[in-house]
């Protein structure tokens, strides 16, 4: 780990330190958690990875394997082509 210097209002620091102590945490731990959450929420690659994991879990729940995907894609494309031809 590396150290980071952050300037904050002294009153804010004291309030945050008080709340952290009540939760059994150090102020440094709270700041690390906040930074991790900040980056997690804004990191697009992490968002995409979470999204892939979400859909992967949903597919597993339905018993769909990676080998099934090309067949399913072709089925959907065939249905779309059939709908277009009917119009």
For residue 78, what are the CA distances in angstroms to 9, 81, 82?
62, 5, 6
Angle subtended at Cα 17 by Cα 14 and Cα 22, rounded to the nearest 5 degrees: 125
Angle, vertex CA 67, rays to CA 66 and CA 69, nearest 5 = 70
- pLDDT at position 75 is 94
- Where along the chain do its domains lie? 13-42, 45-86
Check: CB of residue 63 under 8 Å from CB of residue 53. no
Please check the confidence at residue 87 and state whether its pLDDT lies above 80: no
What is the rounded distance in angstroms from the CA atom of residue 40 to the CA atom of residue 1? 18
Integer Cα distance of 67 and 71 in angstroms: 8
Segment 2-49, tens digit of pLDDT: 999 999 999 999 999 999 999 999 999 999 999 999 988 888 888 898
């Amino acid at each position: 780990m590396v150290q980071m210097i952050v300037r904050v209002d002294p009153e804010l620091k004291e309030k945050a330190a008080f709340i952290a102590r009540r939760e059994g945490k150090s102020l440094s731990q709270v700041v690390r958690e906040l930074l991790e959450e900040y980056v997690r929420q804004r990191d697009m690659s992490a968002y995409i990875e979470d999204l892939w994991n979400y859909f992967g879990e949903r597919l597993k729940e339905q018993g769909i394997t990676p080998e099934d995907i090309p067949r399913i894609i072709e089925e959907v494309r065939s249905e779309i082509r059939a709908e277009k031809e009917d119009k």
